[in-house]
Amino acid sequence: MEENKLNVIRPFGPAIAKVKMPEKIINALNDHVDKIVNNEELSKKFDNGKYLAGNVKQELSLSKEISEESGWSSFLANSTRAWIKFCLGKNIKEFQINSSWIVRQFSNEYNPVHWHSGHISGAGFLKVPSTFGETFQKDKKNYNGKLVLIHGSRSFLCNSKYEILPEVGDFYIFPHYLMHTVYPFKDTNDERRSISFNAKVDDNIFTEID
């Protein structure tokens, strides 16, 4: 084999899109959540915790109106179209958001391993604590506050998880069946605020197998 001719490819496993949320959308969504948090009646109205997997302080559903007004709906639709076009070379005609919600997570709270409904899902970050805390044993890998995507089982040259350290504005789009979890963190009173969604695309594109 000639030197410098090694190419790394991704022949197996689901494709994951990483995109940046515009600052305007981040600010609009954070302002919306802050208004809800400071209003007991609105907090109860938009509380979605009993329908979601997380063991966290608060999970708030996003209305269709705020999703459209903030530009969130358009951002998701455009990002998903670009992702599927890049991966499959196909243009989707349908993009229907089934649900979108915001998770407010604080110290010692967590989201267990779970998956979503629909065809397409995703998760990203609106606020991140100044620290996620240290591990009890200093030489151990620190998973505190991380989002971890999981697929299959670990084997030679094939990891089964993808670890994500949250950064404000980062958003990840993936197939709904991709399992994922969020680890707890500590040593801070700051909030880890994330946003997720479930959506459907064209059935014939979602079910197509080469």
Per-residue pLDDT tens over the stretch 1-49: 444 566 666 667 888 999 999 999 999 999 999 999 999 899 888 888 8
User: Looking at residue 4, what is its pLDDT?
Assistant: 53
What mean pLDDT is reported for the chain? 91
Nearby residues of 148 by Cβ (< 8 Å), 6 or more positions away: 161, 162, 163, 164, 180, 181, 182, 183
* pLDDT range class, residue 132, cuts 50, 70, 90: very high
> What is the phi/psi pair of residue 85, to 5°?
-60, -45
Return the number of other C-beta atoms located less than 10 Å from residue 154's C-beta: 8
Q: What is the pTM of this model?
A: 0.92
Using one digit for the tens of pLDDT, what is the confidence trace for 73-109? 999 999 999 999 988 999 999 999 999 999 999 999 9
Pick the CATH number of 17-202 from 3.40.718.10, 2.60.40.10, 2.60.120.620, 3.40.50.720: 2.60.120.620
User: Looking at residue 1, what is its pLDDT?
Assistant: 40
Nearby residues of 53 by Cβ (< 8 Å), 6 or more positions away: 111, 112, 114
Return the number of other C-beta atoms located less than 10 Å from residue 194's C-beta: 24
User: How wide is the angle at C-alpha 199 spanned by C-alphas 147 and 13, nearest 5°?
Assistant: 55
**For residues 150 and 91, what is the distance between their CA atoms, to the nearest angstrom?**
27
Q: What is the mean pLDDT of residues 46-73?
A: 90
User: Looking at residue 8, what is its pLDDT?
Assistant: 67
> Considering all CA atoms of the chain, what is the largest pairwise distance in Å, rounded to the nearest integer?
68
Which one is predicted more confidently, 53 or 105?
105
